[in-house]
């Protein structure tokens, strides 16, 4: 399997930062009560992760083992600060809702883990792709979680999308007419829904491995081991 394919597969499925590595759960669980919030935080994380991987990788020749970690954190913090300020000026209402967790992206272990274990050891092209795919994997899980919780908790889907896409997006809201189950919106609901998602992923992965056609594919060890 080519490296590009392997990196894509790792980020989205095999080594998914949320479902497999269980990293960055604090923002994941806190923000995922609607699709709009999930999409907002997921996109910011995706952009920051891609850019920080790019920069860390391009500086990897200049850094030694003593300066590497501080430099990586500084790079991540810089991008997060930029994202935070941009969000404040262009998507103020959204920032009011998820702003706290945008600042907390600095402490999202996924970013440092990718910078340290992948970007600082791989060429720019692969490192950027890895950042993008890991970010995309995180984003997809966030959206899925947000969607399930929004449907169960509020009986709507795509509500408040105008926070991201302007007033024309108000019409995207789908009201399903189902009664809201408050538990799904609250933190325990986040844990329970997320647990179910992990279980579903493990079940699918297990089924994949045991089916004979895929046995060969699955035996390929992932390019990057979890550290």
Partner 1 sequence: MKLDTQRIMLNVLLALVPGVSALAYFFGAGIIVNIVVAGVTAVTTEALILRARNRSLNTLRDGSALLTAVLLALALPPLLPLWMLVAGTAFAIIFGKQLYGGLGHNPFNPAMVGYAALIISFPLAMSSWPALGEPIAFWDILITKAMPNSGIDAVSGATALDVLKFRGALTIDETWTADQGFGHMAGVGWEWINAGFLIGGIYLLATRTITAMAPFGMLIALTVCAVLFYDSGSSQSLGSPLFHLFSGATMVGAFFIVTDPVSSPDSAMGLWIFGLGVGMITFLIRAIGAYPDGLAFAVLLMNALVPLIDHLRLRRT
Q: Which residues contact 204 (CB under 8 A, 6 or more apart)?
A: none
- The C-alpha atoms of residue 42 and residue 38 are separated, in whole angstroms, by 6
**Among 103, 181, 197, 205, interactor with partner 1 by CB under 8 A:** 181
Position 198 contacts partner 1 (CB under 8 A)? no
Position 123 contacts partner 1 (CB under 8 A)? no
- The C-alpha atoms of residue 67 and residue 14 are separated, in whole angstroms, by 31
**Among 109, 164, 183, 218, interactor with partner 1 by CB under 8 A:** 183
Position 188 contacts partner 1 (CB under 8 A)? yes
**Among 7, 31, 48, 184, interactor with partner 1 by CB under 8 A:** 184
Instruction: Select the span of 14-22, 55-63, 66-74, 176-184 touching partner 1 (CB under 8 A).
Output: 176-184
Task: Reduce the secondary structure of 78-139 to three states and give it as a string.
Answer: HHHHHHHHHHHHHCHHHHHHHHHHHHHHHHCHHHHHHHHHCHHHCCHHHHHHHHHHHHHHHH
Position 182 contacts partner 1 (CB under 8 A)? yes
Closest residue by Cα to residue 173 from 41, 44, 36: 36
- Number of residues binding to partner 1, judged by CB under 8 A: 7
User: In the complex, what is the shortest distance from the CB of residue 187 to partner 1, in angstroms, rounded to a whole number?
Assistant: 11
Which residues of the shown chain bind partner 1 in the complex (CB under 8 A)?
Answer: 181-184, 186, 188, 192
């Amino acid at each position: 399997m080519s490296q590009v394919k392997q990196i894509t597969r790792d980020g989205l499925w095999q080594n998914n930062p949320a479902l497999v590595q269980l990293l960055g759960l604090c923002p994941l669980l806190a923000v995922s009560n609607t699709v709009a919030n999930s999409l907002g935080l997921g996109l910011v994380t995706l952009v920051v992760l891609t850019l920080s991987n790019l920069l860390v990788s391009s500086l990897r020749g200049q850094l030694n083992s003593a300066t590497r970690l501080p430099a990586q954190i500084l790079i991540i913090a810089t991008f997060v600060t930029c994202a935070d300020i941009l969000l404040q000026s262009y998507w103020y209402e959204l920032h009011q809702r998820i702003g706290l967790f945008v600042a907390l992206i600095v402490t999202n272990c996924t970013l440092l883990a990718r910078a340290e274990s992948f970007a600082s050891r791989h060429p720019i092209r692969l490192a950027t792709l890895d950042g993008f795919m890991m970010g995309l994997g995180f984003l997809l899980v966030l959206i899925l979680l947000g969607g399930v919780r929004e449907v169960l908790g509020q009986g709507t889907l795509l509500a408040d999308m105008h926070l991201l896409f302007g007033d024309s997006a108000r019409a995207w809201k789908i009201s399903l007419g189902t009664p809201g189950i408050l538990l799904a919106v609250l933190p325990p609901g986040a844990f329970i829904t997320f647990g179910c998602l992990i279980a579903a992923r493990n079940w699918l992965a297990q089924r994949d491995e045991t089916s004979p056609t895929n046995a060969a594919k699955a035996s390929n060890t992932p390019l990057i081991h979890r550290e």
